[in-house]
Structure 1
């Protein structure tokens, strides 16, 4: 997923600071080192001077690995979203948010997203949202609607998952520590690459 890759890359490089060197230039220098085989081959084949800015690179990268056809597919999935017959409120909300995250450039307003989600819920879940809103749920402003949904989702989720959370607490902590360590290793490796490139640039 190019969007996840860019989010992770931005997180790693956001801590890099070099005097008189814009962060976008740092990203432009380091991005090739973050790519794996297929993506690196694609970048190497780009015509000379076809990528001059970080914005150019981001646009080309997304268009290459997130083609318009995929955007169209995910937009249709969002528009035609349905709560499954055996799906809890929390499960439906998480699945809907996953679709939105997979296509961050979907173009739907918050109001449109909330309207879509509310209108596909079963009557009990719609009534619960209306009750929490003190009337028609969709009469609230989007920020209040999201707060109500998240609150309801967390309550349902905590009741159904308390046993699993206790069972997996140690495993999750270990995984979190491991991910943090991996991030530190990647940051150090990329910063070394940046130092090498900056030294070459200064000598040229």
Structure 2
């Protein structure tokens, strides 16, 4: 209970209802109480980890209207993750663009964060890879294509290629060092992308050929 109550849900716009449910289930599923059903546990536990407007909402539910965890979860999601919020998150995923001076690793991490925050996006793996790839700038796409055209690879191959190059980019880069070099350069020219691309190409040459 102490772990559950470390992060209470209030129902503000910046909170993720799906993430909150997932967190509660991860903790609650670690324990089993003989003779007590999962429904009974969740119906008892869930109200305790709400506060403010969210707690008032659940207390105002009609008596006897919620008798199972499934009903409570659906009511909670309808209340705090209505269709317009889902549509907004999906729009952010579909319109994903690599930011200026953003490394491949940072872009990949940010993109996966968007997917995580919208776990009900209903996008298959091929669509997810396509949206990420098309959102990258041209130099980064060229790097990813250096050992094979990403859109023509199998799912396993393109994911491996992206992950290997992204990790290599991360291992070779220290953002603070790069910013310092850029600021100290005579013309304040951004040298981050070219160097990242060189290291990523070197990484791609070390990917097992059987996977590309």
Rounded to whole Å, the distance in 1 between the matches of 2:102 and 2:81 is 29
Q: 2:91: which partner in 1? A: 76
TM-score (norm 1): 0.72
Counterpart among 116, 119, 132 of residue 117 in structure 1? 132
Change in Cα spacing, 1:11 to 1:160, as seen in structure 2 (3 Å) is same
TM-score (norm 2): 0.69
SS of 2:172's equivalent in the other structure is helix
Q: 2:153: which partner in 1? A: 140
Counterpart among 60, 65, 75 of residue 60 in structure 1? 75
Bigger relative contact order, structure 1 or 2 (CA pairs below 8 A, ≥6 apart): 1
Rounded to whole Å, the distance in 1 between the matches of 2:35 and 2:158 is 44
More deviation in 111-120 or 139-148? 139-148
Rounded to whole Å, the distance in 2 between the matches of 1:145 and 1:57 is 40
Rounded to whole Å, the distance in 2 between the matches of 1:71 and 1:160 is 34
1:8 and 2:23 matched: yes
More deviation in 144-153 or 96-105? 144-153
1:128 and 2:143 matched: yes
Work out whether residues 111 and 142 of structure 1, in 8 Å CA contact, stay in contact via their aligned partners in 2: yes
Encode CA deviations 1:98-157: one digit per residue, 9 max, x unaligned: 2111211112111111111111212222122223xx422122232332222222111111
More helix by share: 1
Encode CA deviations 1:26-84: one digit per residue, 9 max, x unaligned: 12221111111221111011122222211111111111111211111111111111112
Rounded to whole Å, the distance in 2 between the matches of 1:80 and 1:64 is 26
Change in Cα spacing, 1:147 to 1:49, as seen in structure 2 (3 Å) is farther
Rounded to whole Å, the distance in 2 between the matches of 1:31 and 1:111 is 36
Work out whether residues 95 and 135 of structure 2, in 8 Å CA contact, stay in contact via their aligned partners in 1: no
Counterpart among 115, 118, 125 of residue 100 in structure 1? 115
State the number of aligned residues: 162
Rounded to whole Å, the distance in 1 between the matches of 2:118 and 2:61 is 25
Work out whether residues 105 and 167 of structure 2, in 8 Å CA contact, stay in contact via their aligned partners in 1: yes
Displacement, 1:23? 2.6
Moved over 6 A (4+): none
Unpaired stretches in structure 1, ≥5 consecutive residues? 165-204
Counterpart among 151, 157, 165 of residue 152 in structure 1? 165
